[in-house]
Chain A
Amino acid sequence: MKPIANMTQPEIGALVVSHLKKVGIPVVLSGGAVVSIYSHAKYVSKDLDLVDIYFHKKSKIMDAMSEIGFVEYGRYFKHPDSEFFIEFPPGPLSVGAEPIREIIQKEYTTGVLMLISPTECVKDRLSAYYHWNDQQSLDQAVLVAANQDINLNEVRRWSEQESKLAEYNIFLSRMKS
């Protein structure tokens, strides 16, 4: 296996996800790192949010991470040879009021990465836009939608559930412009 210092962000993610799965801690990549992967690095994020789906004890995660050389720095873990930060936001894996069900597997030489699907990623970014009026998140949703196949009917249905149809239409017009 290539040295950690030479691993890309998804390769590091795959390494950690696979190791944690092996020790019984399933995690799924969400957040900005997924945008980075689906936008082919047109958006860059230095951290990886690995959602701990089944609420494991922090000490168990710490032990598992130290086995592969990661050290805890406050809320984050970092390998001394890597520039990427890893965080474990608490579950459930959700977007708005709904659970995320569409999980994708991507294989790398370092392991198998579990990450939310492009459609869920768009919903995740739109959630931040809908509730915090965060324009960067809207930009990221548009970026992912431009680079991936998205189920727009699903995004619309979910937006309606969140009572955010007007904001969804802004997203749609941004996508088309």
Chain B
Amino acid sequence: MFSLQSILGSESCEQVLMFILARSQGYPTEIANFFKVSKLPIQKQMAKLEIGNVLASHLVGRTRLYQFNPRYPFLKEVKALLEKALTFYPESLQEELRMNRRRPRRAGKPL
């Protein structure tokens, strides 16, 4: 389900942006696993978006975590476009994208 592919130019770009819009942050493996695609195109797209200042990243342990760059001048407008496009996704996918555990989980806690 890709609603902006024709203007973004690639599925991976839309997947990255939608994931980060929904969850505020993400890393390549996580996004590739979510959409069940290979990691390489996602990784390349994230690097490209970072060079273009759309995304910014920082290391957390050994993971490079990406988020929207708050200094990107078109951020508000890009987010508005993505928000609208997200409403065209199937409800189940919208829910899945937005549903992630944000509260802390104590180390060693059984399921």
Which A residues contact B (CB, under 8 angstroms)?
Answer: 89-90, 92, 94, 96-99, 127-128, 131-132
Contacts of A127 in B (CB 8 A): 71
Report yes or no: B71 in contact with A99, Cβ–Cβ below 8 A.
no
Question: Which residue of B is nearest A98, CB measured?
Answer: B73
Report yes or no: B73 in contact with A90, Cβ–Cβ below 8 A.
no
Which B residues contact A (CB, under 8 angstroms)?
Answer: 51-53, 70-71, 73-76
Contacts of B75 in A (CB 8 A): 97
Question: Which residue of B is nearest A162, CB measured?
Answer: B70
Contacts of A89 in B (CB 8 A): 53
Tell me if A's interface is mostly helix, strand, loop or mixed.
mixed
* Distance A114 CA – B76 CA, assembled complex (angstroms): 29
* Distance A82 CA – B75 CA, assembled complex (angstroms): 37
CB B60 to nearest CB in A, in angstroms, measures 15
Contacts of A90 in B (CB 8 A): 51-53
Question: Which residue of B is nearest A100, CB measured?
Answer: B73
19 A-B residue pairs with Cβ-Cβ distance under 8 Å, sorted by A, are A89-B53, A90-B51, A90-B52, A90-B53, A92-B73, A94-B73, A96-B71, A96-B73, A97-B73, A97-B74, A97-B75, A97-B76, A98-B73, A99-B73, A127-B71, A128-B71, A131-B70, A131-B71, A132-B70
Contacts of A92 in B (CB 8 A): 73
Question: Which residue of B is nearest A97, CB measured?
Answer: B73
CB B15 to nearest CB in A, in angstroms, measures 22
Contacts of B73 in A (CB 8 A): 92, 94, 96-99
* Distance A128 CA – B52 CA, assembled complex (angstroms): 17
* Distance A131 CA – B56 CA, assembled complex (angstroms): 11
